[in-house]
Structure 1
């Protein structure tokens, strides 16, 4: 499970790190982090997809949210018995802590 999260999270962390560093032109002397490369990359992707390059970051963010929900669903499905046991134990504990109306 750790490998799945690492293989999912590492590329996202790298992309968003690059995106924000290049967007605000914090290049630290590296050409890949410059604003010119940022604009060129999104212009190329925009032309390849046939859409406005300014729409791409929002589309990528929406895809990230969708992928996160899909990944969370897969993890929840694989651990559904443990989640059910945890939920039942929590309800059982809450019912014992609730004051009785007959008292």
Structure 2
């Protein structure tokens, strides 16, 4: 089994109609590792911030929760987002250097 086959499990992006459309448009689909929370900025950075900021609050309506989440997101400084992207690049580099093996310490 090639490394491309190991990296690309079946999914919507592998459907015949999708692959045909991509080919017709001249778009090359690249293999990628399976989903990993360690490499997803929302999982390793944004969700923990939201959980901390909204901890203990209760919402009766989804609209109230949505408003609170949006309000909290607006208060995160741009520099924090930039720092997150730098950390994300480090995590991606570690993943590549470890040949997609599990790594710790970030």
Question: Normalised by the shorter chain, which TM-score bucket?
Answer: 0.3 to 0.5
Greater C-alpha Rg = 1
Query: Relative to total residues, which structure has the larger helix share, 1 or 2?
Result: 1
Using the size of structure 1 for normalisation, the TM-score is 0.36
Higher RCO, 1 or 2 (CA under 8 Å, sep at least 6)? 2
